Structure 1
Amino acid sequence: MPRPSRSLLLLLPLLAFAGCASATRMSPEDRASLDRTLTGPEADQYLRVSAYLTPFFGDASKRLLTPYPPEDVRLLDDTSGKPISPGPIQATVPAGARVRITKVEFPTAWVVTERVLYTPRSWPWVYVTVEGAPAGEQVVLVLPPNLDRPDAFRTELEKTLSPHPLKELAGFSATVKEAVRTKKLVVDMPADAVRMAWGPPESVRRSLEGTARHEEWRYAGERRKAFLTDGRLVRAEEAGTSLLP
C-alpha cells in the first residue's frame, strides 16, 4: 500500500479542524469587545440570584455556577436525549455576593476542539471568581448558544449577574433574606425574592380572577413550580409535592 504524501499528512489535521464548525454567530469584533469590556471596567459584578456551585460535567478542573439544582440543569444531553446532571451541589452562593469576570469565551471552532468532550462545548462560557470560593478555582457560568449580538449576550448575562449591588435585598424581612440566601421559599415572599431564591423561571402563565393577578412560574422540566397572587408567593411545588405549609 503506498504511503500518503507529505502534503496529505499536513492536510489531515486541517480537515479535522474544519469539520468542527464554529458554534457562535457573533462577529469576531463583537466578541473581542465584550471580552474587553466585561473583564475590564465591568469586571466586578454581583449575583442577582442565589446560585449553586457543582462539578463541571466531565471537566474536573472547573466548577459550574448555576441558579438551578443539578436535576434542572439543561446544558448537556446523553445519547438518548436525556439531560445529564453536572454533579452534586457542592456549595451555595447567596444573591448579592460579589463576583469578578475574568474571561468571556465563545465556542469558536478552535475553542470547541480544546474543550473537554463531555461538557457544554458549544455554549459561551463566562469565567468568574466568586466571593468566598477558593482562590484560583475556575468557575464557569454557561450562557445559551446562538447569541449573535452583544445586547442579547448582556441580556442573558444580566439574568444572573448585576453590575450594581442589590439594594432591594435590604428591603426584605429577615425571614425572606434567609430564604433567599438558602434558596428556599416562604409564603408571602415578593416576586423579586422568589426570583432571587429559585432563579428566573423558564415560563410564566398569567391569569386574572376578578382583580387578583395570578402567575404560575414553571422551571425546566416543570419539576418545580411557584404560584403567585398579586406579586406574592402563595404556593410552591417540587416534583408534585407541596413545599409550603
Structure 2
Amino acid sequence: MPLNRLRLPSLAVLFLAALASGCGSHTRMPPEARASLDRTLTGPEAVQYLRLSANVTPFFGDASKRLLTPYAPEDVRLLDDTKGKPISPGAVERIIPAGTKLRITKVEFPTSWVVAERVLYTPRTWPWVYLTEEGAPAGPPLVLVLPPNLERPEDFRTELEKYLAPRELTAQLDALPPAVKDAVREKRLVANMPLDAVRMAWGPPEQVRRTLEGTAKNEEWTYPAGRRKAFLTDGRLTRAEEAGKPLLP
C-alpha cells in the first residue's frame, strides 16, 4: 500500500518534467527567441497598421476572442473537424479597413503549456498574435493566427509583415482612385484595380501562377480552397472568380 501511494506523485513529477522539457510543444523556436520577439513586438514595435482589409469573425469555440483574417470564413483553413473537413470560424461580424492602427498586446507560441490552456476547438497548435484596435470600444482581443513551425524570428516577422506594417499607409491609400479605395475598404474587387490594391482587398493569395503572352505578363492568383481567383495582366486586375462564377462586369 505505501508503495502504491508513492507511484502517483512520481508519475505526476515525470509528466510535469516532460512538459517543462518541451515534450508536446508545437513550436521549434528557442525560448529566448520567443521571449525576445514578444518583448520587442509588444514594446517598441507594438503600434502597427493593418496592411490589408480584414474580416473579424468569431474565434471558433472561444467566445472570449475574435479572429482577424483577410479571407472569407468559408476560405479559412485553420481547423478541421473529425472527418478532416475545414471548420468555418463563423460569420463575418465586421470589416477592419486597411490602414487601421492596431496595437500588439501579446505574442503567444504553442508550447505544451499554452496548448493545454487553449480552448479545444481552436487552432491551438498555431502561433497567435493578440491585437487591439486603437480608438475602438473595449471588446474581445483580435487574434491573428500565423503558420506553425516558424523556427526563426525572421520567419515569424516575414509572416507578420504580410498583414501588418510599421508605418501609416495614408499616402498609399490616398493615391488610389476613390472607387478603388472604397473597394479596398469593403473587401471588393473592381476592374483595372492595381495589383497592390487587389492584395489589400482580398489578402495575399495562396498560389500565384505567372505566364507570358507576347509582352503581356499575366498572373493567376488562387486563394485558399481554390474558391476565389483573381487574374491580372501587367499589374492590373482583368477578371475575378468566386466559386467558378465571374465577379466583375
Where on the TM-score scale, by shorter chain, does this alignment land: which range? over 0.9
Out of 229, 232, 245, the residue aligned to residue 225 of structure 1 is 229
Out of 193, 199, 204, the residue aligned to residue 195 of structure 1 is 199
**Alpha-carbon deviation of 1:7?**
3.2
Letter in 1 for 2:194: P
2:148 maps to: 145
Out of 230, 235, 241, the residue aligned to residue 237 of structure 1 is 241
CA deviation vs aligned residue, 1:155-214 (integer Å, no higher than 9, x gap): 000000001111311110000000000000000010000000000000000110011110
CA deviation vs aligned residue, 1:61-110 (integer Å, no higher than 9, x gap): 11000000100101011111111101110010000000000000000010
- SS for the counterpart of 1:177 is helix
CA deviation vs aligned residue, 1:125-176 (integer Å, no higher than 9, x gap): 0000024543142211000000000000000000000011113111100000
Cα distance in structure 2, aligned partners of 1:123 and 1:66:
14
Letter in 2 for 1:51: A
**Alpha-carbon deviation of 1:11?**
3.8
Cα distance in structure 2, aligned partners of 1:14 and 1:216:
55
RMSD of the alignment, in Å?
1.6
- SS for the counterpart of 1:83 is coil
2:29 maps to: 26
Closer, same or farther in 2 for the Cα pair 1:44/1:234, shift >3 Å? same
- Farther off after superposition, 163-172 or 197-206: 163-172
Matched residues, number:
244
1:109 aligns with 2:115: no
Letter in 1 for 2:190: V
Cα distance in structure 1, aligned partners of 2:178 and 2:11:
63
**Alpha-carbon deviation of 1:14?**
4.9
2:9 maps to: 10
1:98 maps to: 101
Indicate the percent of aligned positions where both proteins have the same amino acid.
70
Closer, same or farther in 2 for the Cα pair 1:23/1:230, shift >3 Å? same
**Alpha-carbon deviation of 1:13?**
4.1
Cα distance in structure 1, aligned partners of 2:179 and 2:10:
64
Matches within 5 A, 1:29-68: 29-68=32-71
TM-score under structure 1 length normalisation = 0.95
TM-score under structure 2 length normalisation = 0.94
Cα distance in structure 2, aligned partners of 1:132 and 1:242:
38
CA deviation vs aligned residue, 1:15-54 (integer Å, no higher than 9, x gap): 5564760000000110000000000010000000000100
Cα distance in structure 2, aligned partners of 1:4 and 1:69:
58
Cα distance in structure 2, aligned partners of 1:152 and 1:225:
27
Structure 2 unmatched ranges of 5 or more: none
1:130 maps to: 133
- Farther off after superposition, 152-161 or 131-140: 131-140
2:178 maps to: 174
Cα distance in structure 2, aligned partners of 1:7 and 1:136:
47
